[in-house]
A and B are shown apart, each in its own frame.
Chain A
Amino acid sequence: DAGVTQSPTHLIKTRGQQVTLRCSPKSGHDTVSWYQQALGQGPQFIFQYYEEEERQRGNFPDRFSGHQFPNYSSELNVNALLLGDSALYLCASSLSGAEQYFGPGTRLTVT
């Protein structure tokens, strides 16, 4: 049984560019959450998708947007990248419960 997968593993972008990160949830899971983990910090909640709709959102600007597809996979989009967006982006999936399973993350570097 495949766990949560994320792509790409690493990404380097230039300030001002746009980026799309992808996540496939654990088999059978219907909820996807995204977190940003800056270096040396704990993960910060960005938003959560359920039934293809954003259900919760953390304290992140509108430059951060997402999407969930009918197969429950999800994308995180970040526009107008800033140097401060450099971080590990984690995707977590769950099935209508409190236990979230995390993927390995995508390391984004903005130069």
Chain B
Amino acid sequence: AQSVTQLGSHVSVSEGALVLLRCNYSSSVPPYLFWYVQYPNQGLQLLLKYTTGATLVKGINGFEAEFKKSETSFHLTKPSAHMSDAAEYFCAVSEGSGQGAQKLVFGQGTRLTINP
């Protein structure tokens, strides 16, 4: 069975500092990996995804993530935090597309706080 572990339920950084949100996954097949962001009282917005190919993936709002198969990790980074980045972030894994979209398995989430 697939699973996702997000290390750190809360992360706090200063504005302008590096953001690093950690995600480790478990999957018996080559995974598809995703990062979603959730602002208060809203649904989930896709930040970026890894399916195949280049292991460094760039997403929206300056975020990027690197797929490291040997470490079963997919950590999310942003060089310089902005106040608007404060939100809940979820890492998710699926078994790939196959016949239509496969279910997503989510981590518990990491709440990112930005200090002025």
Contact = CB atoms under 8 A, between A and B. Distances in A.
B103 A98 contact: no
B106 interface: yes
B101 interface: yes
A104 B42 contact: yes
Interface residues of A, number: 29
B107 to A, nearest CB: 5
B94 interface: yes
A43 B42 contact: no
Contacts of A41: 108-109
Interface string B75-114: 0000000000000001010101101111111111100000
Interface string B22-40: 0000000000100010000
A103 B43 contact: yes
Interface of A: 4, 30-31, 33, 35, 40-45, 48, 50, 55-56, 58, 90, 92, 94, 96-105
Given A42-B107, A45-B105, A98-B97, 20 more contacts: A31-B100, A31-B101, A33-B103, A41-B108, A41-B109, A42-B92, A42-B109, A50-B99, A55-B100, A58-B103, A90-B44, A92-B44, A92-B104, A96-B100, A96-B101, A98-B94, A98-B96, A102-B45, A105-B42, A105-B43
